[in-house]
Amino acid sequence: MNFISAEFITRATQLMRSVALAVHQTVVVTTPVDTGRARSNWFVSFGSPVLTDNEPPGGDSVSARGRQAADQAFSQGRPVIASWRLGSGDIYVSNGVPYIGELDRGSSRQAPKGMSRQAILAGRRVLKETKLLPPGTG
């Protein structure tokens, strides 16, 4: 019984990390880029959201700014997600840029509205595809 409990905790931890990673990755790559500010300000945290609004990383072209902004967001988020354990608190994926809601509602011509919805759907797909219990125990 202890093995099943330990296995369940391990699988539940990995599932939460996978969901958070899918949500974070999707929302970052679907955020439209002009300066890179909105894309670079997606943060992952435990317990409460981070509503920081940092300057974008820069770059000579929109595609360079987009890549650098995504790299900045991923370099912050991935280690936080990897460190999450049961009992660490809720995982938040948040953005403190004042116009992030407008972007999500479709104010940019560069991307369709609904980046947060796409991210939630990506997390739901991970939940549906993952088997929490090991084979033969359910």
User: 58 versus 19: which is more confidently predicted?
Assistant: 19
Instruction: Indicate whether 107 belongs to any domain.
Output: yes
Q: Which tokens in the block code for residue 71?
A: 């790299």
Instruction: Indicate whether 134 belongs to any domain.
Output: no
Residue 138: predicted pLDDT: 52
How far apart are the C-alpha atoms of 99 and 97, rounded to whole Å? 6
Instruction: Indicate whether 135 belongs to any domain.
Output: no
Tokens 């943060």 sit on residue: 43
Instruction: Indicate whether 66 belongs to any domain.
Output: yes
Please name which of 113, 108, 125, 107 lies closest in space to residue 25, comparing C-alpha atoms.
Answer: 125
Encode pLDDT of 70-111 as tens digits: 999 999 999 999 999 988 899 999 999 999 999 999 898 877
Instruction: Indicate whether 32 belongs to any domain.
Output: yes
Write down the pTM of the prediction: 0.89
| Residue ranges making up the domain that contains 72 | 2-129
User: Considering its fold, how many domains does the chain have in total?
Assistant: 1
